[in-house]
Amino acid sequence: MARNENSVFYGVDRVTLIVYVLLVIMGWLNIYAAVYDEEHQNIFDTTQKYGKQLIWIGGAAVIAFSVLLIDANFYTAFSYGFYGFFLAMNILVLFLGKEIKGSHSWFRFGSAGIQPAEFMKFATGLALAKFLSNQNIIINQQFRLRLKDLIKNYKNTVFALLFIVVPLILIIKLQNETGLAIVFIAFIIVLYREGLSVGFLIFGILTAILFVMALVVTSISGLLITLAVISASAFLFINRSRKNLILVVIVFIAACGVVLTTNYVYNHLEDHQKVRIDVLLGRGTVDLKKEGYNVNQAKIAIGSGGFLGKGYLQGTQTKYDFVPEQDTDFIFCTVGEEWGFVGSTVVIFLELFLILRVIFLAERQRSDFSRIYGYGVASVLFFHLAVNIGMTIGLMPVIGIPLPFFSYGGSSLWSFTILLFIFIKLDSNRLLILR
Amino acid sequence: MSTNSQLGNRKLIIGGFFCLIVVIYLCRLFYIQVIDPQYKLDAEKNAFRYMTEYPVRGYIYDRKGKLLVFNAPSYDLMVIPRETKGCDTMGVCEVLQITKQDYLKRMKKACQAPNSPRKESIFEKQMSAQTYAALQEKLYRFKGFFVQKRTVRRYPKPIAAHLLGYVGEIGKEQAEKDVYYKEGDYIGITGLERSYEDVLRGKKGTQIAITDVHNKIIGRYMDGKYDTLAIAGKALYCTIDRDLQEYGEKLMQGKKGAIVAIEPSTGEILCLVSGPSYDPNLLVGGKERSKNFTKLYYDSLNRPLFNRALTAMYPPGSIFKLIDALIAQNDGLINRNTVYPCQMGYPPMGGKPKCHAHGGGKNLTGSIAASCNSYYSYVFREIVDQRKYPHFIDGYNHWRDVVKTFGPGTRLGTDLPYDKPGNVPSVEYYNKVFGKNGWRSNTIVSLGIGQAELTLVPLQMANVVAIIANRGYYFTPHSIKGVGIDKKLDNRFKVKHYVAVQDQTAYLNVIDGMQGAMEPGGTAFTNRLKDIVVCGKTGTAQNPHGDDHAVFLAFAPRENPKIAIACIVENAGFGNTWSAPIVTLMIEKYLKGKTERPEVEKRMLEGDLITKNNKKDALKIKHH
């Protein structure tokens, strides 16, 4: 890259850039393979999705360039501005947007569309970075039961969580886009890096485990008794003080609460969400022709790839439309079928490498803002990677979120590009100033 | 920054967590992509449609190269219900001449298990040529329909139905057992079609088409690299003489029974007639097929599907005396000059079995020519009670063992399916019937004249006369000269089987007696041929259910015999009246290509014993 300090590319991390370009190109080739049919063989044919994706890619290049062009101070200064702006857009879309398949998340421009929720990710990342870097918040590791201490200790945590929860609820409840909303959970990792008590994470993980167990285990009372036994036996290992007693009792009551409300929560899910959970957990009978179709076909496509794959454009399962959504959320099926285990590993490693690279870069920042934002980028990317690939191989419920830089779609490619390149820009300035 | 340094190890936890998840995913991927084969199989089921190209079934020719069976094209109308959107339904009904209700009924059937709306199933089986022609013009309007070409069997002459057998849809269980077939395929069910199914059927070809999620064909898999072409079935060269077979069937019209002729020097079956027969063209596919089959199957009076030549077990009657004469001579018990008394019956048993007037005691050749019952009662006793064996049971077993080498009581192992072994009763059987020590040679003496529990199928009778013509050996009777262009024949049909009697004088004496039967004083004198020396033997098999069965067997010419033949006509009385004329006419036809006894031929062709016997039965029922 350019050595010139005035160059747009001054200080830009080349490794990240190269991996980004590789992923985008590989994604495009796989979209071509997924949509490919004999009649439209020209990869530049803009009536086809791969042709359109090329336009999106061109747009992404322009966006990336623009992001690098803007002064890094702009992002720090207008962090809350971005957040507020896109929050407003996400509310506006409820009234101005078109309803597509029950979701209110799209602004349509002719045949193309933009989802403001996609851009909420980087805005949240910026706002969170701003908030956490300004406040000397973090968080006393000491656990005290006094209300005054609790407020003092956790006030900032609650504020930080609000940055995450507000868009999440807005998108999930009003726009009806579970997949897009659930991504915001990834920011918890940022909070953890910045000092969020491990207790929160353990609490969250336990809640998830209990939720799953309450759905899988048929005997709820048995589960409650088990919980009681575990809680009681906790005294064998910890100091039998009054404080700990209260703590254990609270945890036990909370756990029972989770178990007992599980069915209530489950019953209030949308039908398709229930089905997706059922498919993942193998509850009841799953009809492979109906509710189990997506995941089963995805697994067939990936599984039939074998070790080396069937070769580029040779995949029968994806090429002939057995896998639904194979150019967007299920793009990994094309990789699995045509490139096999080797290709899948390469793609996953590239994505992981990019994420770890971002963490590595984040840790070398002198500015808290840049570091926190970097963790936001890494967390969001990893969440997409884990959920997207997890659902195609039957380890996660089907949640419609794209594979970063790979899946077809303008909104997702552009938003990931902005997300990543703001960080690249911040990183390129790391030696200049201390923010 | 103090917090930052405190929390520094958290970057490792986060990074480690990311890596852990990825490792779990890669393990899972490795499992479903490399270890578990199920997904690969499912993928093939998803995307490939295996389309069958049916091979042409092998033709069957007679021994002179005349055609017995060929194929005619047949067209099945197939439908994929899902793809019939926008189809001209009324047009389909019009062409097939069915009602709209029929159409909907068939379509429903095509949609229900085991069929599927996504898969092809038969809508109309084996359309006529006219229907096919009319259909082809309009097929483009009938969306979702297409025509599958197959072939059905055709027979230029309506003969040899039992020998050739028929082809039909394979049974469900068999289709599941044998990987070559799938449901709806055709398979040889009886006769040669069954025995030689493996060579006649050829090999199915497969085209692998790639289909999309809507089961629409997108193209050929790997441009047809893995497609296989259908290989036509091999031709079968039959040992049957088409003209002789046709003539035999004509002679057997209106009669129940069978004619089997064998070429003694090779064991080749020259004709295999079972009466009543049916036109094999009745049992070739199409709508008519099942109707015809049901009609034939339920014809309990005539039982036309019953192959009498291989499966009807008849008592042989007097023709069995030939075997007794051979055994007794071979054991040195009698010679050409041995004479036994006859007083219109077997004296030791008070004149039973009865005999007929043939002018007193005969010598060996005379006893054969005149078919003396007393003589062979004596002979049978001589064999069973001979001194060599301390106990008559050993004598009986000796007799039985030798008889079995001539064929009775064993399956001959011909290449036609379902042949029956006949029966030569065992010692155990008689012990059961009469009690141990409750029987003597005289008790069962009627075995000696081919009665009682002794039974043979017509093929075995013809084989016995072939053995005598060959003077001591036979080739397993078979109906195929060879398979395919190189006319390969199973080696088991080239093996000489020697019977237990090898005394050439014994054969000479018996053959003299058989020749005598065709001469003045012989039982078949009226059926002698002017210029061919025929050696024959009449038989009249007592039948507990009605009139006697008429049996006649013969070979000709005497020197270097070309044909050995047996005929049995049910409920026809004395062997010379019906069976001997048929046999001698067949011999004439085969050796000279024509017959020179028009009045005999006319009587045989016009003789309708079935109607006569049925009337008799009806009368009997009235009297009761």
CATH number reported for the structural domain that contains residue B56 in this entry: 3.90.1310.10
The parts of chain A modelled with pLDDT lower than 50 are: 1-2, 140, 435
Indicate yes or no: CB of B18 within 8 angstroms of CB of A363: no
The number of folded domains in chain A is: 1
Does the beta carbon of A386 lie under 8 angstroms from any beta carbon of chain B? yes
Q: What is the pLDDT of residue A1?
A: 45
Return residues 219-278 of A near B (CB < 8 Å). none
Here the ipTM equals 0.89
Among candidates B14, B48, B218 on the partner chain, residue whose Cβ is nearest the Cβ of A189: B14
Residue B465's alpha-carbon distances to A253, B76, B534, in angstroms, are: 102, 49, 12
State the pLDDT confidence band at B127, using cuts at 50, 70 and 90. Answer: confident
Nearest CA in chain B to A38: B218
Indicate yes or no: CB of B213 within 8 angstroms of CB of A322: yes
Percent above pLDDT 70 for chain B: 94
Reported as type and span, the H/E element at residue B458 is helix B458-470
Indicate yes or no: CB of A303 within 8 angstroms of CB of B32: yes
Q: What is the pLDDT of residue A144?
A: 55
Nearest CA in chain A to B215: A320
Does the beta carbon of A316 lie under 8 angstroms from any beta carbon of chain B? yes
Among candidates A359, A389, A393 on the partner chain, residue whose Cβ is nearest the Cβ of B15: A359
Stretch B428-452: mean pLDDT: 88
Does the beta carbon of A127 lie under 8 angstroms from any beta carbon of chain B? no
- Residues B141 and B219 both lie in one domain: yes
Chain B: give the shortest CA distance to residue A161, in Å: 19
- Residues B451 and B508 both lie in one domain: yes
Residue B528's alpha-carbon distances to B57, B465, B515, in angstroms, are: 44, 18, 10
Measured between beta carbons, the chain B residues lying within 8 angstroms of A138 are 3, 7
- Site from A314, A316, A361, A381 to mutate, B interface, most B CB atoms within 10 angstroms: A316
**Most confident listed range (A418-427, B126-135, B176-185):** A418-427
Q: Is residue A108 domain-resident?
A: yes
Percent above pLDDT 90 for chain B: 37
- Residues B225 and B367 both lie in one domain: no
- Residues B452 and B558 both lie in one domain: yes
- Site from B33, B40, B213 to mutate, A interface, most A CB atoms within 10 angstroms: B33
- Residues B406 and B459 both lie in one domain: yes
Q: Is residue A30 domain-resident?
A: yes
- Residues B163 and B61 both lie in one domain: yes
Q: What is the pLDDT of residue B2?
A: 42
Q: Is residue B546 domain-resident?
A: yes
- Residues B183 and B95 both lie in one domain: yes
Measured between beta carbons, the chain A residues lying within 8 angstroms of B33 are 302-303, 305-307, 336, 340-341, 344
| Domain hosting residue A96, numbered range | 14-196+302-428
* More confidently predicted of B620 and B4: B620
- Residues B157 and B201 both lie in one domain: yes
Indicate yes or no: CB of A393 within 8 angstroms of CB of B46: no
User: Which range, of B217-221, B270-274, B366-370, B526-530, averages the lowest pLDDT?
Assistant: B217-221
- Residues B215 and B269 both lie in one domain: no
Chain B: give the shortest CA distance to residue A104, in Å: 30
Q: Is residue A354 domain-resident?
A: yes
Chain B: give the shortest CA distance to residue A321, in Å: 6
CATH code for position B340: 3.40.710.10
* More confidently predicted of B66 and B137: B66
Does the beta carbon of A299 lie under 8 angstroms from any beta carbon of chain B? yes
| Domain hosting residue B592, numbered range | 264-277+306-479+494-599
Among candidates A138, A317, A378 on the partner chain, residue whose Cβ is nearest the Cβ of B3: A138
Q: Is residue B109 domain-resident?
A: yes
Q: Is residue B471 domain-resident?
A: yes
The number of folded domains in chain B is: 2
**Most confident listed range (B461-470, B520-529, B540-549, B590-599):** B461-470
Chain B: give the shortest CA distance to residue A186, in Å: 12
pLDDT 10s digits, A219-259? 777 788 888 888 778 777 777 777 778 878 888 888 888 88
Chain B: give the shortest CA distance to residue A248, in Å: 26
Indicate yes or no: CB of A352 within 8 angstroms of CB of B18: yes
Residue B596 has pLDDT above 50, yes or no: yes
Measured between beta carbons, the chain A residues lying within 8 angstroms of B219 are 38
Torsions phi, psi for B81 (to 5 deg): -50, -35
Q: Where are the beta strands (DSSP E) in B412-558?
A: 473-475, 480-483, 496-498, 535-541, 549-556
- Residues B268 and B197 both lie in one domain: no
* More confidently predicted of B220 and B469: B469
Among candidates B6, B15, B39 on the partner chain, residue whose Cβ is nearest the Cβ of A299: B39
Q: What is the pLDDT of residue B1?
A: 39
Measured between beta carbons, the chain B residues lying within 8 angstroms of A357 are none
- Residues B449 and B512 both lie in one domain: yes
- Residues B420 and B455 both lie in one domain: yes
Q: What is the pLDDT of residue A136?
A: 57
Q: Is residue A215 domain-resident?
A: no
Among candidates A136, A317, A393 on the partner chain, residue whose Cβ is nearest the Cβ of B28: A393
Assign 3-class secondary structure to chain A. CCCCCCCCCCCCCHHHHHHHHHHHHHHHHHHHHHHCECCECCCCCCCCHHHHHHHHHHHHHHHHHHHHHCCHHHHHHCHHHHHHHHHHHHHHHHHHCEEECCEEEEEEECCEEECHHHHHHHHHHHHHHHHHHHCCCCCCCCCCCCHHHHHHHHHHHHHHHHHHHHHHHHHHHHCCCHHHHHHHHHHHHHHHHCCCCHHHHHHHHHHHHHHHHHHHCCCHHHHHHHHHHHHHHHCCCCCCCHHHHHHHHHHHHHHHHHHHHHHHHHHCCCHHHHHHHHHHHCCCCCCCCCCCHHHHHHHHHHHCCCCCCCCCCCCHHHHCCCCCCCCCCCHHHHHHHHHHHHHHHHHHHHHHHHHHHHHHHHHCCCCHHHHHHHHHHHHHHHHHHHHHHHHHCCCCCCCCCCCCCCCCCHHHHHHHHHHHHHHHHHHHCCCCCCC
Indicate yes or no: CB of A303 within 8 angstroms of CB of B43: yes
